[in-house]
């Protein structure tokens, strides 16, 4: 709220505008850096869901996976009204409590234990090894990943492998790459460049990894 947003390729610009219309967007399909630029104060809230998380709260989530980044996100008829209530609370604590109550009201029990197992296995095994262990074809594995995550198994694995280097960084970059299943140093450098547009030795020196900002790496 109170913000006019302009979206360009890999760039979001937010300018303060009093009484601007409420905007809600979803971002789930990018794999390269996005610059987010603020001008003036912004009344906003960011909800960060881990892999598979949205499946527990939003019906037919695949309809959003098919859209571009920063597409409109209004999963239920009352979503706009409820989020406006969240954003107009007097204190941050009240906003957080109100937001949590809303999402808890949307929680739905679904059986995706097999998908969760596959995600765990992919952290240690190749896509082919996982499909053989679970007893399904690579084509079917690809299909269920697109359905529940909006990504292919290979895309997911690439992102998670990079995330692991960020979650547990160390000064020895060669060892860091090997511990996270990169074939060699050039493979590690290629992926870091892909996700950050920065060489590993610069990225891991300049990024503050203890930040609580979820926009660091999604």
pLDDT of residue 218: 42
User: What 3-state class would DSSP assign to 72?
Assistant: strand
User: What 3-state class would DSSP assign to 13?
Assistant: strand
Q: Number of C-alpha atoms within 13 angstroms, CB side, residue 65?
A: 18
Integer Cα distance of 79 and 92 in angstroms: 19
Is 113-206 a CATH 1.10.10.60 domain?
Answer: yes
116 close to 52: Cβ distance less than 8 angstroms = yes
pLDDT of residue 208: 63
The pLDDT tens digits for 77-124 are 999 999 999 999 999 999 999 999 999 999 998 888 888 999 989 888
Q: Of 77, 3, 46, which Cα lies nearest the Cα of 215? A: 46
64 close to 28: Cβ distance less than 8 angstroms = yes
Beta carbons within 10 angstroms of residue 18's beta carbon: 8
Where do the structural domains in the chain lie, given as residue ranges? Answer: 3-106, 113-206
- Burial class, 162, CB count within 10 angstroms (exposed 0-12 / middle 13-18 / buried 19+): buried
pLDDT of residue 141: 92
């Amino acid at each position: 709220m109170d913000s006019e947003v302009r979206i360009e390729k890999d760039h979001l610009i937010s300018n303060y505008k009093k009484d601007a219309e409420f905007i809600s967007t979803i971002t789930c399909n990018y794999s390269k850096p996005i610059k987010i630029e603020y001008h003036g104060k912004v009344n906003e809230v960011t909800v960060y869901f881990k892999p598979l998380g949205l499946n527990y709260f939003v019906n037919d989530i695949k309809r959003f996976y098919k859209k571009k980044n920063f597409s409109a996100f209004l999963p239920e008829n009352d979503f706009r009204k409820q989020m406006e209530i969240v954003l107009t609370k007097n204190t941050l604590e009240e906003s957080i409590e109100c937001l949590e109550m809303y999402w808890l009201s949307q929680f739905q029990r679904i059986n995706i234990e097999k998908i969760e197992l596959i995600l765990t296995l992919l952290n240690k095994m190749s896509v082919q090894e996982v499909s053989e262990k679970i007893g399904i074809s690579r084509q079917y594995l690809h299909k269920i990943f697109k359905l529940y995550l909006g990504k292919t198994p290979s895309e997911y694995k690439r992102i998670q492998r990079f995330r692991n280097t960020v979650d547990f960084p160390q000064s020895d970059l060669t060892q860091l790459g090997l511990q996270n299943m990169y074939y060699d140093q050039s493979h590690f450098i290629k992926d870091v460049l892909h996700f950050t547009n920065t060489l590993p030795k610069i990225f891991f020196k300049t990024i503050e990894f203890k930040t609580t900002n979820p926009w660091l790496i999604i």
